[in-house]
């Protein structure tokens, strides 16, 4: 019987490739046995339980419609929110400000700014004055999603002119957007303005700033801000501490995490499942598997229940602790342990097997997923394609790539393009690039680099220059310029090289030391520096320096 969702040819190829597979017995390792016990008890809980939401309200009233639309918005279903919104108008039930605000917010979160603005304008045309909540959603759109801060500030000024004073949620939303954009100092300015206006901040106001400091590795400033929150009577929330704990874990300051957890009861906050999961993940990545499993007992003792994320962190812990092969056996025998393994678990083990060079073992888990009815995602396919490429099975990788259920992404394309380039199969590279374009998957610098190298190697220098000029639309990369110039040197295209460099300088691009070094090295490798043609090198360098 063919593997569900894959072509018959692919299934038969997989079956031949995986014949004579042996599977050793699971060893009696304490951590593996402990994991199997945990999996049995906790893996049955869905990672994201689907909400049971009614199709329409019990009676046609704006309050009932808004309640139902809010539930759908929380579930991320903006299309159904819009459908209900149109339905209530068709039934002659006029939406109120709360309904409009819910719809606009759902569209903002769904990253549909044009639709959100249209609904907001419709509210104004209907003669309804926006309230604080409606204005705040508009601030969220411009600051957190569109990063148009001038417009966000204008909305705040507009609120004041209309007699609608911004509240703590409005200011906190603006500060969040600024912090996401890396404009921390400006966010602190908004905080000062907020205090001048007599609006007292809360933990939601400060947490984005703490996160921004941590993202910039300004840990000491983040700690001082948390201390300030405590001093001014604005106690940090569990979310705030989680941000700080994650930052400590990334730099290996586990003793700081222990201090925070020990003082949690005194400071009035309670670690939750996310807190412990972050800490366990940090310990796992630092090779402290035993300590991570010990933390699980502390987590349960303190009333925090492990979930599917926690379970996957522990599985990753096993894999990083040189137990990836045993973790693979656990997955294959998950039914025996009453463990409902999911696609995230499979991806984790397959990824770690690849990290230690066990490409074939990673690939062998692929059909096991189908056998258990687990649908792979784009990450799964990327791992499978990379595994097959690393063992030289390029055509089989292409066969998997071409299957109808394959979810293509940029990483997978780049992987396959790279290996076909190394195998000197230029036509396959060009076909994959065309397919990327047809599927509207934008190339990145890695894609451009491989294609430029491939075209130069085939002597198609005008094509390589065209690809380089196309890459400038996504921003100038000195590395890409170095690749195309080196290709021109190796191909003896000195005139084309001179024209390119002169054009770059006319456009105002700065030719830095990286390009100089790569170019001189390329000239030396070809032999220009030991031949009568050294004057060409001198001429090019002179043109670059003028």
Please tell me the predicted confidence (pLDDT) of residue 51.
52
Are 470 and 529 members of one domain? yes
Q: Which helix (H) or strand (E) holds 10?
A: helix 8-17
Are 428 and 333 members of one domain? yes
Is residue 319 in some structural domain? no
The residue with tokens 């599917």 is 308
Cα 335 to chain centroid, rounded: 31
Give the residue from 442, 468, 495 where a domain finishes: 442
Task: Give me the domain span that covers residue 515.
Answer: 459-546
- Tell me which DSSP letter residue 142 carries: I
Are 295 and 333 members of one domain? no
Please tell me the predicted confidence (pLDDT) of residue 265.
85
Are 220 and 300 members of one domain? yes
CA-to-CA separations, 188 to 137, 173, 247, in angstroms, rounded: 21, 13, 20
Please tell me the predicted confidence (pLDDT) of residue 177.
95
Give the residue from 442, 476, 491 where a domain finishes: 442
Please tell me the predicted confidence (pLDDT) of residue 507.
81
Is residue 75 in some structural domain? no
- In terms of pTM, does the model score above 0.85? no
Residue 346 and residue 374 in contact, taking contact as beta carbons nearer than 8 Å: yes
Please tell me the predicted confidence (pLDDT) of residue 22.
45
Residue 117 and residue 127 in contact, taking contact as beta carbons nearer than 8 Å: no
CA-to-CA separations, 177 to 76, 236, 291, in angstroms, rounded: 20, 20, 37
Are 330 and 428 members of one domain? yes
Q: Using CB atoms within 10 A of its CB, is residue 181 exposed (0-12), middle (13-18) or buried (19+)?
A: middle
Is residue 492 in some structural domain? yes
Are 358 and 412 members of one domain? yes
Are 464 and 543 members of one domain? yes
Residue 345 and residue 309 in contact, taking contact as beta carbons nearer than 8 Å: no
Is residue 231 in some structural domain? yes
Please tell me the predicted confidence (pLDDT) of residue 319.
80
Residue 156 and residue 124 in contact, taking contact as beta carbons nearer than 8 Å: no
Is residue 171 in some structural domain? no
Residues near 203 by Cβ (< 8 Å), separated by ≥ 6? 229, 234, 235, 236, 237, 239, 240
Are 332 and 416 members of one domain? yes
Please tell me the predicted confidence (pLDDT) of residue 151.
94
Rounded distance, CA 387 to CA 416, Å?
11
The residue with tokens 């419709």 is 122
DSSP string computed for 466-527: HHHHHHGGG---HHHHHHHHHHHHHTT-HHHHHHHHHHHHHTT----HHHHHHHHHHHHHHT
Cα 350 to chain centroid, rounded: 19
Is residue 122 in some structural domain? no
Whose CA is closest to 43, among 321, 337, 316?
337
Q: How many domains, the chain?
A: 3
Are 344 and 373 members of one domain? yes
Are 330 and 438 members of one domain? yes
Please tell me the predicted confidence (pLDDT) of residue 501.
78
Whose CA is closest to 230, among 263, 275, 189, 253?
263
Are 437 and 329 members of one domain? yes
- Helix, strand, coil: what percent of the chain each, to 5? 70, 0, 30
Whose CA is closest to 432, among 476, 489, 480, 389?
389
CA-to-CA separations, 27 to 23, 317, 348, in angstroms, rounded: 12, 17, 20
What are the pLDDT tens digits along the chain (546 aa)?
A: 334 444 444 444 444 444 444 444 455 567 666 776 666 666 455 444 445 565 667 777 888 888 899 988 888 889 989 998 998 888 888 899 999 999 999 999 998 999 999 999 999 898 888 999 999 999 999 999 999 999 999 999 999 998 899 999 999 999 999 999 999 999 999 999 998 989 999 999 999 999 999 999 999 999 999 999 988 889 999 999 999 999 999 999 999 999 999 988 888 899 999 999 999 999 988 888 888 888 888 888 888 888 888 888 888 887 876 677 777 777 777 776 667 788 888 888 888 888 877 877 787 888 888 888 888 887 888 888 888 888 788 888 888 777 766 777 888 888 888 888 888 888 888 888 888 888 888 888 889 899 888 888 888 888 888 888 888 887 778 888 888 888 888 888 878 877 887 787 788 777 666 677 777 777 777 666 666 666 566 656 665 555
Residues near 61 by Cβ (< 8 Å), separated by ≥ 6? 93
Please tell me the predicted confidence (pLDDT) of residue 437.
82
Please tell me the predicted confidence (pLDDT) of residue 56.
67
Are 284 and 356 members of one domain? no
Give the residue from 379, 412, 442 where a domain finishes: 442
Is residue 114 in some structural domain? no
- Tell me which DSSP letter residue 86 carries: H
The token pair that represents 24 in the structure block: 């050793």
DSSP string computed for 88-121: HHHTT----HHHHHHHHHHHHHTT-HHHHHHHHH
The residue with tokens 């917010």 is 105
Residue 247 φ then ψ, to 5°: -65, -40
End-to-end CA distance of the chain: 70
Is residue 130 in some structural domain? no
Residue 444 and residue 477 in contact, taking contact as beta carbons nearer than 8 Å: no
Please tell me the predicted confidence (pLDDT) of residue 167.
94
Residue 464 and residue 473 in contact, taking contact as beta carbons nearer than 8 Å: no
Residue 207 and residue 239 in contact, taking contact as beta carbons nearer than 8 Å: yes
Please tell me the predicted confidence (pLDDT) of residue 18.
43
């Amino acid at each position: 019987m063919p593997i569900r969702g894959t072509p018959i040819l692919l299934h038969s190829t997989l079956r031949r490739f995986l014949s004579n597979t042996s599977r050793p017995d699971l060893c009696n390792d304490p951590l593996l046995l402990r994991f199997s016990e945990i999996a049995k008890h906790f893996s049955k809980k869905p990672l994201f339980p689907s909400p049971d939401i009614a199709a329409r309200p019990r009676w046609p009233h704006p309050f009932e419609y808004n309640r139902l639309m809010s539930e759908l918005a929380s579930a991320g279903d903006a299309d159904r929110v819009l459908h209900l919104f149109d339905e209530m108008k068709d039934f002659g039930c006029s939406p109120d400000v709360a309904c409009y605000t819910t719809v606009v917010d759902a569209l903002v979160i769904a990253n549909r700014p044009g639709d959100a603005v249209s609904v907001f304008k419709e509210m104004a045309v209907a003669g309804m004055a926006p309230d604080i909540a409606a204005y705040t959603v508009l601030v969220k759109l411009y600051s957190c999603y569109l990063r148009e801060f001038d417009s966000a500030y204008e909305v705040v000024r507009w609120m004041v002119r209309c007699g609608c004073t911004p509240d703590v949620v409005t200011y906190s939303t603006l500060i969040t957007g600024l912090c996401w954009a890396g404009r921390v100092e400006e966010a602190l300015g908004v905080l000062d303005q907020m205090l001048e206006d007599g609006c007292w901040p809360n933990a939601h106001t400060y947490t984005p700033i703490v996160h921004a400091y941590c993202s910039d590795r300004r840990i000491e400033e983040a700690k001082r801000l948390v201390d300030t929150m405590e001093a001014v009577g604005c106690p940090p929330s569990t979310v705030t501490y989680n941000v700080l704990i994650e930052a400590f874990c990334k730099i290996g300051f586990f003793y700081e995490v222990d201090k925070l957890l020990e003082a949690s009861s005194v400071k009035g906050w309670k670690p939750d499942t996310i807190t412990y999961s972050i800490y366990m993940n940090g310990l796992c990545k630092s090779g402290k598997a035993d300590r991570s499993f010990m933390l699980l007992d502390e987590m349960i003792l303190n009333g925090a229940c492990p979930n599917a994320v926690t379970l996957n962190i522990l599985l990753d812990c096993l894999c990083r602790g040189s137990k990836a092969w045993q973790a693979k056996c656990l997955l294959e025998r998950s039914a025996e342990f009453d463990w409902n393994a999911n696609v995230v678990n499979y991806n984790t083990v397959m990824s770690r097997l690849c990290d230690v060079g066990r490409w074939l073992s990673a690939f062998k888990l692929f059909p096991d997923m189908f056998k258990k009815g687990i649908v792979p995602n784009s990450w799964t396919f990327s791992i499978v394609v990379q595994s097959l490429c690393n063992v030289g099975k390029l055509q089989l990788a292409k066969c998997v790539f071409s299957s109808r259920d394959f979810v293509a992404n940029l990483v997978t394309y780049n992987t396959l393009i790279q290996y076909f380039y190394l195998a000197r199969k230029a036509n396959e590279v060009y076909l994959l690039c065309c397919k990327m374009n047809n599927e509207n998957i934008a190339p990145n610098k890695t894609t451009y680099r491989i294609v430029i190298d491939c075209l130069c190697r085939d002597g198609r220098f005008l094509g390589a220059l065209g690809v380089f000029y196309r890459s400038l639309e996504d921003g100038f990369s000195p590395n890409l310029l170095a690749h195309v110039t080196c290709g021109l040197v190796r191909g003896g295209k000195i005139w084309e090289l001179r024209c390119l460099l002169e054009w770059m300088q006319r456009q105002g691009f700065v030719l830095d030391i990286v390009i100089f070094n790569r170019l001189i090295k390329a000239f030396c490798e070809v032999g220009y520096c030991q031949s009568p043609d050294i004057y060409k090198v001198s001429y090019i360098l002179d043109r670059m320096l003028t």
